[in-house]
A and B are shown apart, each in its own frame.
Chain A
């Protein structure tokens, strides 16, 4: 089950857009960070169920943050939400362990579909109740 969602993006508008695509009735608890380093620190502190991570950010970029997050918790579900849709970028983040790449701008269908997949994946990780 997904309860805590972390959104890491330097653009407040982008965070707002993404959040608006997540079902309002999901009862999620949101955490936000404005760069990769702040995102990494929040990630370690909060241990979110799902993290949405931008790539092009100041201070620490998303690729480095992703690498650090996966080192900290290999089972973490990190969805890269990015405008950088170059094939090499996508391959790189998938190699680093991203769960999925969500291309910007986000859509409600796209976000909700990936959240369902994330919830299924998390259920499998936790095993049968």
Chain B
């Protein structure tokens, strides 16, 4: 039985969903400022699942991608967890030219894999940083980030170790699906929080909403 303080109510989910919507909108605008791209946003989705089910949940969500590229970044403050930005494999190559005007020359010189990783890392850093940053700003927290880690063309089955969280607890998964319009690339952003954050999160969500009472 999950203790009540770790249970997220429907109202709390709705508040979190709206905050996630604002946060990812900010992230998309930040990215559009840095590179010439338009990000098509979708309605964000918040789900609370058992930590043990998390790897299977994410594998199911990205089932259409046979191979994937992942940017992973951890964050910690009162709000603590992991962000996973997931693209189909090869997306990095598509996106290189947006960040690097000399991409063709670089590709010819054979450094495509390195460039792809750097591109994904840069895009991941902007999207994750702006999204998590805005989310925590709205909730009155400041977080510290680990350096982003890029895994290219990994098998989707390997992305999340089953023992990431204590298996008895809940994990909050915030999912946003987005599309880079000019490049026809879809991706997912998952934010997962660890159970220690949930009590703080619940209080902060109502604190945020109290401004609008």
Residues of A within 8 A of B (CB): 10-14, 16-17, 20-21, 56-58, 82-89, 104-105
Q: Are A86 and B21 in contact (CB under 8 A)?
A: no
Top 5 closest pairs, chain A to chain B, by CB = A83-B25, A20-B212, A83-B22, A17-B212, A85-B29
B15 CB within 8 Å of chain A: yes
Bound state CA distance, A56 and B209, in angstroms?
A: 21
Q: Is the interface of A mostly helix, strand, loop or mixed?
A: loop
Bound state CA distance, A110 and B209, in angstroms?
A: 17
Question: Which residues on the A side are within 8 Å of B209 (C-beta)?
Answer: 13, 17
A10 with B43, Cβ < 8 A, contacts A16-B212, A17-B18, A56-B21 known: yes
Bound state CA distance, A57 and B32, in angstroms?
A: 21
Question: Which residues on the B side are within 8 Å of A86 (C-beta)?
Answer: 25, 28-29, 32, 38-39
Q: Are A83 and B26 in contact (CB under 8 A)?
A: yes
A14 with B43, Cβ < 8 A, contacts A85-B25, A86-B28 known: no
Which among B11, B29, B42, B212 has the greatest number of chain A C-beta atoms within 10 A? B212
B113 CB within 8 Å of chain A: no
With A14-B18, A56-B41, A85-B28 already in contact, 11 other A-B pairs whose C-beta atoms are closer than 8 Å: A11-B21, A13-B11, A13-B14, A14-B21, A57-B43, A83-B41, A87-B29, A88-B32, A104-B18, A104-B21, A105-B22
Question: Which residues on the A side are within 8 Å of B38 (C-beta)?
Answer: 86, 88-89
Bound state CA distance, A117 and B15, in angstroms?
A: 29
Q: Chain B: which residue is nearest A58 at the CB level?
A: B43
A34 vs chain B, min Cβ distance (A)? 11
B17 CB within 8 Å of chain A: yes
Bound state CA distance, A58 and B177, in angstroms?
A: 13
Q: Chain B: which residue is nearest A18 at the CB level?
A: B212
Bound state CA distance, A82 and B41, in angstroms?
A: 11
Question: Which residues on the A side are within 8 Å of B188 (C-beta)?
Answer: none
A10 vs chain B, min Cβ distance (A)? 6
